[in-house]
Amino acid sequence: MIHFSLCFFFFVAFSCLAAEQTRLPLNDYFAETWNTRSGLPHNSINSVAQTNDGYVWIATWEGLARFNGREFKLFTRSEIPDLPDSGLRSLAPQADGSLYISGARGGVSHLKNRQWLVQNNASAMVNYVLKTRSGEMWLALEGDGIAYRDYDNGPEHTILVNLSAYRLVEDKRGVIWAATSDGLYKIENKIAQLVTPSSGLPHSSIYSALLTQQGQLIVAGEKGAWRLVGDMFESIHPKLDGESISSLLQDDHDDIWFGTINKGLFRLSEIGLEQLDADSGLPANRILSLMQDREKSIWVGTNGGVYRLREAPFSSWTKKRGLNGDYVRSVLSHSDGSMWVGSSLGLNRVNNDSVVAIPPAFEQGPLSILSLAEDNQGGVWVGTYTSGLMRVVDKKIYPVINRDNGLLSNEIRALLFDNEQRLWVGSAAGLTRIDPDGSVVQYTTEQGLPGDFIMALALDSRGNIWVGTGVGVAMFNGELEKFKGQAFPKQFNAEYAFGFYAQQNFMWMTTDRGLIRFNIITGEIAILGREQGLPVDKLFQLVVQDDSFWLSSNRGIIQVKQQQVNELLNDPSSIKGQKLQYQLYDEGDGMLSAQANGGSNPAATLHNDGSIWFATSQGASTVVPERIKQASQISLPTVIESLYVDGKNTPILYDEELVLPPGTARLSFHYAGLSFIMPQRLNFQTKLIGYNNEWVNRQRLTITEYTNLAPGKYTFMVRAGYPNGQWQDNYKTINFVIQSYFWQQTGFKLVMLFTLLLLAFGLYQYRLYHYKKIEKELIIRVEQQTRDLQQQTDAFAHQATHDQLTDLPNRRAFDSWLAENFSDFKQQALPLAIAIMDIDHFKRINDGWSHIIGDRVICVVAHLLSQCVKSDASEVARWGGEEFTLLFPNKTAQQAAELCDELRLEIANYDFSTIANGLSVTVSFGVADSLTVNDYDRLLAQADQALYKAKTIGRNRVEIIFSDTLSAEQPES
């Protein structure tokens, strides 16, 4: 099946609809950082620019970097002729696609048509280059003022001296505005005039100037930012007054961005003034440059690397935005337009980007919320992990019923109001129905449920109640007042039913083996899982929006077309001939964590504003599919970056025919698609006219090689495309001809071919006997070497996982087993006990009898423990030294401790005098189980604490450590 993991839609939706959409808060932007560890030559990013061909260029103190989305290509004095120093200060892209670079020691160079054109050096470091509409080159110099040249490499004329100039802009009237250390200068007809405080600017340094798309001048410096209104400068925003601002940018929304010297980044938009600093994710608070690329991403140059912000499809609600907790288990779309979010640390109501915490009515610890439901009067009911059923009244949470007064369990994972407004409560011990008159009815396996651990409840189009458990589903018929079990077909291999979605004739179920469709009319059942093309087995919740299914999983959010899913399920025989198209969204699309949560309901929901909300381990993630759906494809430049002919880099000629010498054996074309949002997922097609006239899919390969091409004329073509998108007419071509030797003529080839055939036939007859003779010898040698290698491999594998002294599994093998199986026990809510054993006073044995006797004691103890494997423990391992570990699947710590105590007595009563006279041995055990921990590291730590306790209070005993508090729940998902 084809994995369309990320379509082109989501990063263009926002740019195409920019004028119609409200701004995203800065915290909702998806951010990425590049620095020296990523391939940059220096972390101080003095300037960022994009040229017409699509490349992003980055100027640093150690050279220039060209970025194609995948890698940086560096340019220093070695690659740029006559550049006096690699330190670069500014970049100036031109409308014709060329690029001016400037920097230390007065260096200026011009990149045009892939060639570096040498420029005369200026008298001091060049902070900025401005090419005016008349063709003049103006230079802002460090310490040497401002100069201009009538043309490139022309004589230099000085305008200002003895100051530092930082930025130059030219307005529509040809007036040049200069940001300098003395303030703002207005240069008209080559005459410079300082803008005095009488015009509204303070007497201070001006670091940057910007001419907006509307023609308004904005300047910024060490005391704030101002805009020119008429003949007076006005403060842009009072909160920026006094801030030292180093750079300015106007984006396609007409928002203004401000880079500061030590306060990070500010943005002024219709939602107000926002700040982003190092505490919010910036690499550093010193901003040196700003740029918006053609894909509408914002690039921020800092002294800690380059930082990029883009509007991702997903945004997240977390503690940072006001939630009580990040581990979200349930999201509810309320009829009043608000969203309710339940996490492991409490309940929140989100409305119009405002978050309100809903506290418990009575003082107690934070409530862990598992499930939510709304009644027909708008009341919100809450299922908790340890406190039973509760209800929100007057913005507080009040208890309703728990295990002490009628519930089967306090762990409530699903809530549902049926057509008669009866409340169904799904718990870890069964199902409870609360009627409007307050009467309570209990249902367990004795009443027909397939299992007592309830995870999901749903109402179908006929009014039947569907119940999802850890061992299948059941349907409650209201007329018959009884349950009918619905076992999954054996070939599905499904057990857990995490969620439901009801349609007119279907009930959809998200399970641990994929998406199941049940026809409530005919009883037909079908599954869409990994074998049918889904990327994962385990699905938690299904949300339907227009023509798409949105599925949550532990690896992200999957979007599939509803029509294709039905087509595949209607005709299973056609699955082999079809390719399931899906999109998998994860952290690269704005989610803070790809791990969505399940086993509680609702774990995902469609909100009335068209957004979809998902409960994840790092907040509530939300996506607006309409933004993606309305997007159109943006231009994707394709470039051929290099051509290697027989291993040598050859200059590329786009407009001329490249002539290659006779005997050219290998051509290697290196190319790229210049998208900076999803460069690793772009697809490529190539064509070599003269060799083949059809486009060849290269998938994500950025290199195509041809070997032993015949002499002749060829045209190489390459184009890039977004996943799941239409191919654009963005191909690049190179025309070349391979010259031929005289012996490469057709007649000569025919003569040589005939001669070679005769020689080959004779050689074949001559060598045939010899080859047959040595064939037998080679076969014998290969078989012997294969056997030797296999024996050696088996020995190495055993040594890597077993203790050399006792031949028991070692710590590596034990850790591997525990890591691979711990989550399975947690998901199935099964206990897993672990014991760590230590031989008491083992040092005395070594000191008193010798290390040889100590080793023999270890071997005897290992033998006694190994006998336990055959009965009660599944694994025993030598942990290290005199310590051993034992695993007890499906046993609690108490049960394991009883077995350990029997082992303790058996070892204590064992006659060790056969090893050494007067020798007796006792051991101590520390025991813990998985019921109160969320990861195996914590389980090991608790067992180790228990062993320490046993050794501290006397040894020759078994101790158990129980957690004082309930662990953060990690459900069966």
> Do 835 and 883 share a domain, yes or no?
yes
C-alpha pair distances (Å), 92 with each of 64, 130, 568, 651: 13, 7, 54, 25
Give domain status of residue 334, yes or no.
Answer: yes
Q: Which domain holds residue 916?
A: 811-960
Distance from CA of residue 182 to its chain's centroid? 47
Give domain status of residue 503, yes or no.
Answer: yes
Bridge partner list, 290: 300
pLDDT at 9: 32
Ranked by mean pLDDT, the top range of 339-348, 887-896, 952-961 is 339-348
Give domain status of residue 635, yes or no.
Answer: no
pLDDT at 554: 94
Which range is least confidently modeled, 60-69, 134-143, 750-759, 916-925? 750-759
Which range is least confidently modeled, 406-415, 425-434, 956-965? 956-965
pLDDT at 808: 86
Tokens (6 digits) for 681: 């997922």
Confidence of residue 628 (pLDDT cuts 50, 70, 90): low
- Taking the C-alpha atoms of residue 323 and residue 346, their distance in angstroms, rounded to an integer, is 8
Per DSSP, the three-state class of 352 is coil
Give domain status of residue 30, yes or no.
Answer: no
pLDDT at 429: 95
- Taking the C-alpha atoms of residue 121 and residue 156, their distance in angstroms, rounded to an integer, is 10
Side chain identity, residue 115: Q
Instruction: Report the number of distinct structural domains present in the chain.
Output: 4
- Taking the C-alpha atoms of residue 184 and residue 187, their distance in angstroms, rounded to an integer, is 10
- Catalytic pick among 142, 311, 875, 882: 882
In this structure, the number of other CB atoms found within 10 A of the CB of residue 726 comes to 8
* Burial state string for 43-82 with b = 16 or more CB within 10 A and e = fewer than 16: bbbbbbbbbeebbbbbbbbbbbbbbbbeebebbbeeebee
Which range is least confidently modeled, 329-338, 437-446, 862-871? 862-871
> Do 722 and 836 share a domain, yes or no?
no
Average pLDDT score, the chain: 88
> Do 366 and 287 share a domain, yes or no?
no
> Do 416 and 478 share a domain, yes or no?
yes
> Where does a domain end: 744, 768, 792?
744
Tokens (6 digits) for 117: 């054109």
In the predicted structure, residue 556 carries a pLDDT above the cut 90: yes
In this structure, the number of other CB atoms found within 10 A of the CB of residue 162 comes to 9
CATH number of the domain bearing residue 677: 2.60.40.10
Average pLDDT rounded to a whole number, residues 39-63: 96
Q: Using the structure block, give the residue that is written with the tokens 């190994």.
A: 866
The question of whether 882 is a catalytic residue gets the answer yes
> Do 333 and 239 share a domain, yes or no?
no
> Do 267 and 362 share a domain, yes or no?
no
> Do 848 and 897 share a domain, yes or no?
yes
Q: What are phi and psi of 938, to 5 degrees?
A: -70, -35
> Do 680 and 823 share a domain, yes or no?
no
In the predicted structure, residue 892 carries a pLDDT above the cut 60: yes
C-alpha pair distances (Å), 256 with each of 212, 213, 274, 457, 871: 9, 11, 11, 50, 72
- Pure H helices in 522-610: 562-570
> Do 851 and 715 share a domain, yes or no?
no
Give domain status of residue 210, yes or no.
Answer: yes
> Where does a domain end: 495, 528, 543?
543
pLDDT at 292: 96
Q: Do residues 27 and 321 touch, judged by C-beta distance below 8 A?
A: yes
Average pLDDT rounded to a whole number, residues 168-181: 96
Which class for 626: exposed (0-12), middle (13-18), buried (19 or more C-beta within 10 A)? middle
Q: Using the structure block, give the residue that is written with the tokens 């989100």.
A: 350
> Do 922 and 823 share a domain, yes or no?
yes
Which residues, in sequence order, are CB contacts of 381 under 8 Å at separation 6+?
A: 372, 373, 374, 375, 389, 390, 391, 392, 400, 415, 423
Nearest to 434 by CA among 369, 381, 360, 495: 381
Side chain identity, residue 931: L
Confidence of residue 16 (pLDDT cuts 50, 70, 90): very low
Give domain status of residue 160, yes or no.
Answer: no
Nearest to 584 by CA among 607, 612, 550, 613: 550
> Do 382 and 528 share a domain, yes or no?
yes
Give domain status of residue 388, yes or no.
Answer: yes
- Taking the C-alpha atoms of residue 954 and residue 20, their distance in angstroms, rounded to an integer, is 74
Nearest to 462 by CA among 480, 477, 472: 477
Give domain status of residue 921, yes or no.
Answer: yes
Q: Do residues 700 and 70 touch, judged by C-beta distance below 8 A?
A: no
Cis geometry, peptide bond prior to residue 602 (ω within 30 degrees of 0)? yes
Per DSSP, the three-state class of 700 is coil
CATH number of the domain bearing residue 508: 2.130.10.10
Which class for 120: exposed (0-12), middle (13-18), buried (19 or more C-beta within 10 A)? middle
Which residues, in sequence order, are CB contacts of 679 under 8 Å at separation 6+?
A: 68, 69, 70, 672, 673
- Taking the C-alpha atoms of residue 622 and residue 650, their distance in angstroms, rounded to an integer, is 49
- Taking the C-alpha atoms of residue 885 and residue 804, their distance in angstroms, rounded to an integer, is 16
> Do 823 and 918 share a domain, yes or no?
yes
Tokens (6 digits) for 901: 């105590």
> Where does a domain end: 714, 744, 774?
744
